[in-house]
Structure 1
Amino acid sequence: MFIGHFGLGLAARRAAPRPSLGTLLLAAQFVDLLWPTMLLLGLEQVAIEPGATRMTPLHFVAYPYTHSLLAVVGWGFLFGAVYAWMRQDRRGAVVLGLLVVSHWVLDLLVHRPDLPLYPGGPRVGLGLWNLPAVALPLELLLYVAGVWLYVAATRARDRTGRWAFWSLVGFLLLVHLNNLTGPPPPDPVALAWFAQLQWLFIPWAYWIDAHRDNRP
């Protein structure tokens, strides 16, 4: 899952009006932002296997520190605790912590059984990546709903707030389309470096939010 995570981050603005959109998207994508660094350090492993599922050629060999349920719950608690300490916003902290954990829940829907419950533990996954007729509309629905809820919760302060937001919405859709139709990565190292580009969406989102206000 890709844009579905961003959709949930956008939607969370209704529940937590104080955190910036950048912080919300950082929470929603947190484990996927850590994952490429873990690959480069050799702490986690992925293989490129076209046909691994009908929607992705990635075979997730091992990712206990970013994608096991136990680890994700720990990251969520840490993320929420740091935000609460910095901003004194308990409600926002709870929403951000849940957003981190939501990443595992959404991945559970689409991954084949490769998500560990804890490092070295049983692996689970419902495998919707092998049912594109279900997975594609589901993810698009999550994204569209998130965009709608964010727009309903905020308003542009100026033209930058309007066009920077809609350009991000469109760009994420283009990246999602490329993920679905583009050629597989040549090797795990190239994949890891390319995946690091996801970090660029976070300052983009902070920039957007600096030009938007919460609706009364």
Structure 2
Amino acid sequence: MFLGHFAVAFAAKKADKTLSLGSTMLAAQWLDLLWPVLLLTGTETAAIAPAGSNIPLEFTSYPFSHSLLTVAGWALLFAVVFYGITKQLRSAFVIAFLVLSHWFLDWLVHIPDLPLTPFSNEKLGLGLWNYKTAELLLELLMYAIAVALFFKSRVNPGKRKSIITWSLIIFLLVIHIMNVFGPPPPAITPVAVVGLLQWIFVAWGYWAD
């Protein structure tokens, strides 16, 4: 799941117009922004899947970034920090929902590799990634609906902001298509390094909105 997480971030603007797109992207994508750091430090692990696999990566251990218990903790932390900064209870709830939504969207597409807690061997995942066409269509549909909702929530952004926003929307779509149809990554370290570049999308979101 890549585009789907950003879809939720775009759609969240309809729920709370006061939130910046950068903030909703930060919350919705937080787990995947944290994961590369933990991967590079050896705190969590992953491997390149064997040739011919439907999924290019094997997520062997990511208890701190992707277990349901820790994700709930991250969601609570985001809500508390965001409320402390903004004093907006509604916005804090939306931000917490976005953080938590990441796990449930991953649960939909991942094979059973998502841990319930850092201490549990039980792992979950419905495995929609095994059905490439269906998964792609789902994410594209989510993205299209979310972008439409985003623009319905926007009032007179101006030409410059519109260009910045549309460039972000198109760039994310291109990246997603490349991820789906491109060659598998050569090694895990490049995956982590490229993953860190997702912070650019957060900055882009603040720039656009």
> Matches of 2:22 and 2:111 in 1, distance apart?
30
Report the counterpart of residue 126 of structure 1 in structure 2.
126
Report the counterpart of residue 22 of structure 2 in structure 1.
22
Q: 1:45–1:63: 8 Å Cα contact kept in structure 2?
A: yes
Q: 1:6–1:29: 8 Å Cα contact kept in structure 2?
A: yes
Residues 69-148 of structure 1: matches in 2 within 5 Å?
69-121=68-120, 122-148=122-148
Report the counterpart of residue 12 of structure 2 in structure 1.
12
> Matches of 1:52 and 1:119 in 2, distance apart?
30
Runs of 4+ in 1 over 6 A off after TM superposition: none
What is the root-mean-square deviation in Å for CA atoms of aligned residues?
A: 1.1
Shift of 1:51: 5.0
Residues 39-58 of structure 1: matches in 2 within 5 Å?
39-51=39-51, 53-54=53-54, 56-58=55-57
Shift of 1:53: 4.6
Count the aligned residue pairs: 208
> Matches of 1:25 and 1:93 in 2, distance apart?
14
Instruction: Tell me the TM-score normalized by structure 2.
Output: 0.96
Shift of 1:35: 0.3
> Matches of 2:136 and 2:148 in 1, distance apart?
18
Structure 1 residues without counterparts, runs of 5 or longer: 210-216
Letter paired with 2:7: G
Shift of 1:52: 7.3
Shift of 1:203: 1.0
> Matches of 2:43 and 2:50 in 1, distance apart?
23
Report the counterpart of residue 64 of structure 2 in structure 1.
65
Change (3 A) 1:51 1:113: farther
Shift of 1:182: 1.4
Structure 2 residues without counterparts, runs of 5 or longer: none
Letter paired with 2:85: M
Partner SS for 2:13: coil
Instruction: Tell me the TM-score normalized by structure 1.
Output: 0.93
Letter paired with 2:183: P
Q: 1:66–1:72: 8 Å Cα contact kept in structure 2?
A: yes
